[in-house]
Amino acid sequence: MAAERDLKYTPEHEWLLVDGDVATVGITAYAAEKLGDVVFVELPEEGSDVTAGRVVGEIESTKSVGELFAPVDGTVAEANSAVVDAPELVNSDPFGAGWLVKVRFTELPDTLLSYDEYAALTGE
Domain that holds residue 69: 10-106
Domain presence at residue 122: no
Buried b / exposed e along 47-84 (16+ C-beta atoms within 10 A)? eeebebeeebbebebeeeebebbbbbbbbbbbbbeebe
Total length of the chain? 124
Domain presence at residue 57: yes
Domain presence at residue 82: yes
Domain presence at residue 60: yes
Supply the CATH number for residue 88's domain.
2.40.50.100
pLDDT tens string, the chain, 124 residues long: the values are 567 888 999 999 999 999 999 999 999 999 999 999 999 999 999 999 999 999 999 999 998 898 999 999 999 999 999 999 999 999 999 999 999 999 999 899 999 999 999 999 998 7
Give yes or no for a contact between 106 and 47, defined as CB atoms under 8 angstroms apart: no
Domain presence at residue 116: no
